[in-house]
Amino acid sequence: PFVVVVLRVRGEVVDVAYLDDGNVETEVPLDELSEASESDLAGASSADPHRRWEEGIAALEAEEDAASAETSRPATASNMRWEQGRYVAEDGALILSSAPDGISG
């Protein structure tokens, strides 16, 4: 059996980090886990469970941040141009301005 550190519990599944190599596995069914025996823990004594937990949480957060960045809108300004009283973005989006002529800031 492999000794793991549970990172998160989400309903009937958990995210774990393996003590031997630190690899993270997500959505492991709870019924696949059992409490480690003394001999299992003795074999994994060289690994630091707290460090594995911290590294595993960091890996999960980085994975979530990357997934979020892929689905979020870009944070940089669009290259827009002024055409016929409106701004037109590269993707065709329009920004209309209804400010009366002669107003200056």
Is the Cα torsion angle 23, 24, 27, 32 positive or negative in sign?
Answer: positive
Does pTM top 0.85 for this prediction? no
H and E: helices and strands count for the chain:
2, 6
Residue 27 DSSP one-character state? E
Which residue would you say has higher pLDDT here, 53 or 86? 53
Residue 77 confidence (pLDDT) above 70:
no
Q: Which long-range contacts (CB under 8 A, 24 or more apart) does 31-36 make?
A: 33/4, 33/6, 34/1, 36/1, 36/3
pLDDT, tens digit, for every residue of 7-32?
999 999 999 999 888 899 999 999 99
Rounded Cα gap, residues 22 and 66, in angstroms: 20
